[in-house]
């Protein structure tokens, strides 16, 4: 590998926002970016967990900021954007990862619960892309926006119509932002993780029958881990993806094709 290739993935001097970066997939992506040299601004609600994650990320030798933020609140996302700009002066990479899921029978799902999921997964991603996109478009130098969808955007999920709708919406939204922001050299993409072991999936994976069924359908024959998301974060956050926009990339060990 020549030195030119190596520099494609170098993120030193870059600043990345990761929403929901204090654990799980967001933390895995933040760690990938930090390992490539990016400073991290980590937005999530639980301040103690934010601090613990920041401490771990800082072992990569990069600067890490934490911002208490509920991404479903317009004001909170605006304030978090300002707090990040105040600390670092710019944002180059934004990962809208914060999300929640819950199982509910499609025929019994209450409207309040529908709204609760969409408020975080759809409003939160929209607000994050809008605020960071506005900042990136208003200065020279381009940028990278990444939103975390799910294979549930494609599958029939009888117990998660709200979650599935939010993830399908993210993929459509990403294409709108990609076209709107292309002239500023800002690339906008979505990532569709498959089954990843995190707190969000712990209860599901405690059910051995479900876990076995998932593993049978996964050619990689294992569940994904947060660190499996490092590489896609680096690729989509770096110059390596400079002509790649409006896409959805699946990272699922082959689950969706089997
Ligand atoms: P997780 O372990 O439960 O982590 C969720 C993260 O989001 C936490 O950092 C949490 O921090 C943050 N968060 C939740 N609500 C928030 C809010 N209102 N405002 C700001 N931050 C909020 O979940 P995960 O499995 O890593 O999932 C991360 C993303 O990947 C989600 O969008 C999820 O839908 C998606 N995904 C997961 C899987 C999987 O198999 N695990 C598969 C496909 C897609 P606080 O609680 O401190 O706010």
* Model pLDDT for residues 204-217, shown as the tens digit of each residue: 999 999 999 999 99
User: How far apart are the C-alpha atoms of 191 and 31, rounded to whole Å?
Assistant: 16
Nearest 10 degrees: Cα torsion 25, 30, 31, 37:
160
pLDDT of res. 146: 99
Q: Whose CA is nearest to atom 31 of ligand 1?
A: 99
Q: Whose CA is nearest to atom 43 of ligand 1?
A: 150
How many angstroms separate the alpha carbon of residue 64 from the centre of ligand 1? Answer: 19
Q: Which of 18, 21, 25 to mutate to test the pocket of ligand 1 (most atoms within 8 A of CB)?
A: 25
Q: Which of 98, 122, 152, 155 to mutate to test the pocket of ligand 1 (most atoms within 8 A of CB)?
A: 98
The string of pLDDT tens digits covering residues 215-253 is 999 999 999 999 999 999 999 999 999 999 999 999 999
Q: Whose CA is nearest to atom 12 of ligand 1?
A: 20
pLDDT band at 2; cut points 50, 70, 90: very low
User: How far apart are the C-alpha atoms of 156 and 80, rounded to whole Å?
Assistant: 35
Q: Whose CA is nearest to atom 36 of ligand 1?
A: 150
pLDDT band at 185; cut points 50, 70, 90: very high
pLDDT of res. 1: 42
pLDDT of res. 38: 98
Structure tokens at 56: 């771990």
pLDDT score of 186 more than 80: yes
For the four alpha carbons of 61, 56, 227 and 77, in that order, the dihedral sign comes to negative
Which candidate, 126, 140, 141, 238, places its Cα nearest to that of 176?
Answer: 126
- Tell me the mean pLDDT in the region 31-59: 98
How many angstroms separate the alpha carbon of residue 157 from the centre of ligand 1? Answer: 18
How many angstroms separate the alpha carbon of residue 5 from the centre of ligand 1? Answer: 33
- Global pTM value: 0.97
How many angstroms separate the alpha carbon of residue 140 from the centre of ligand 1? Answer: 31
Report the catalytic residues.
150, 163, 167
The string of pLDDT tens digits covering residues 125-168 is 999 999 999 999 999 999 999 999 999 999 999 999 999 999 99
- DSSP string covering the chain, please? --HHHHHTT--TT-EEEEETTTSHHHHHHHHHHHHTT-EEEEEES-HHHHHHHHHHHHTTS--EEEEE--TT-HHHHHHHHHHHHHHHS--SEEEE---------TTT--HHHHHHHHIIIIIHHHHHHHHHHHHHHTSSS-EEEEEE--GGGTS--TT-HHHHHHHHHHHHHHHHHHHHHGGGTEEEEEEEE-SB-SHHHHHHHHSHHHHHHHHHT-TT-S-B-GGGGHHHHHHHHSGGGTT--S-EEEESTTGGG-
pLDDT of res. 4: 52
């Amino acid at each position: 590998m020549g030195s030119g290739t190596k520099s494609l993935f170098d993120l030193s001097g870059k600043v990345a926002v990761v929403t929901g970066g204090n654990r799980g997939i967001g933390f895995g992506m933040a760690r990938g970016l930090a390992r490539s040299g990016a400073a991290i601004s980590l937005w999530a609600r639980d301040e103690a967990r934010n601090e613990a994650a920041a401490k771990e990320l800082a072992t990569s030798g990069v600067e890490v900021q934490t911002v208490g933020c509920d991404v479903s609140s317009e004001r909170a996302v605006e304030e978090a954007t300002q707090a990040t700009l105040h600390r670092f002066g710019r944002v180059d990479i934004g990962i809208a990862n914060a999300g929640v899921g819950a199982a509910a029978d499609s025929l019994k799902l209450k409207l309040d619960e529908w709204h609760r999921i969409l408020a975080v997964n759809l409003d939160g991603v929209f607000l994050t892309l809008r605020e960071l996109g506005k900042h990136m478009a208003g200065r020279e130098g381009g940028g990278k926006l990444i939103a975390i969808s799910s294979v549930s955007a494609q599958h029939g999920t009888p117990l998660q119509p709200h979650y599935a709708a939010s993830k399908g919406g993210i993929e459509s939204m990403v294409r709108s932002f990609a076209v709107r922001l292309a002239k500023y050299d800002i690339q906008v993409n979505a990532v569709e993780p498959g089954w990843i072991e995190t707190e969000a999936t712990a209860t599901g994976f405690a059910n051995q029958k479900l876990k076995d069924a998932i593993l049978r359908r996964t050619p990689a024959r294992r569940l994904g881990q947060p660190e499996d998301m490092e590489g896609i974060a680096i690729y989509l956050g770096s110059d390596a993806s400079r002509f790649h926009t409006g896409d959805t990339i699946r990272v699922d060990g082959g689950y969706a094709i089997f």
